[in-house]
Chains A and B, each alone.
Chain A
Amino acid sequence: DGGITQSPKYLFRKEGQNVTLSCEQNLNHDAMYWYRQDPGQGLRLIYYSQIVNDFQKGDIAEGYSVSREKKESFPLTVTSAQKNPTAFYLCASSIDTESYEQYFGPGTRLTVT
């Protein structure tokens, strides 16, 4: 089945540690996105990528980094510089950035203590 997978579903880390969240898609989509969701707030864009080896900062990129070495994969690293990393992280993809439809993964809930 085609879709987007994120792993793990729950992730716990100690403050000061970097952590990488996985996002894989087999939809052959060019564009991929990372969003952060906090309670009572909408989704905020962290980074997006239109094509392999290219990515752009979104609204809240500080403290995060990404890579896009393969079309299928867009991992997100939450660094120790991110002041409030505990959140629900959602990955999405679309055929290209002009497409109206984004397909979302199931999300990863990161808790940093």
Chain B
Amino acid sequence: GEDVEQSLFLSVREGDSSVINCTYTDSSSTYLYWYKQEPGAGLQLLTYIFSNMDMKQDQRLTVLLNKKDKHLSLRIADTQTGDSAIYFCAEHDPSGSARQLTFGSGTQLTVLP
């Protein structure tokens, strides 16, 4: 079955780069997403990558996709305290009938001053 896995915690110093990793199992996934959740709030779509791409860059965010290893990463350059949040990886399998997105458990990013 489909499964998306992430490590639960990551701490970085302000100004450093953060790399959040995700592995997924469904090779038919077409889109892979990164969402951000601030405390007590809903999820905000940060970026996404289509499965035929290897990399996508959007300002401070870089998404890398290794389709062979089913590995997705989100790199945040020059991490700021405002980047502290939970980051969710999610996949979209259009062939699925019961659901459209499968979410990982989320990675809590803590940015230390």
Contacts and interface: CB of A to CB of B under 8 A. Distances in A.
- Physical interaction between A and B: yes
Interface residues on B, range: 20 to 34
Q: Which of A58, A90, A102, A107 has the most CB of B within 10 A?
A: A102
Interface in B41-76: 41-45, 48
B99 A42 contact: no
A45 B99 contact: yes
A94 B96 CA distance: 16
A104 B104 CA distance: 16
Contacts, number: 62
Main secondary structure of the interface of B (DSSP, over half): strand
Interface of A: 4, 6, 9, 33, 40-43, 45, 48, 56-59, 90, 92, 94, 97-98, 100-107, 109
Interface of B: 4, 8, 31, 33, 35, 40-45, 48, 88, 92, 94, 98-106
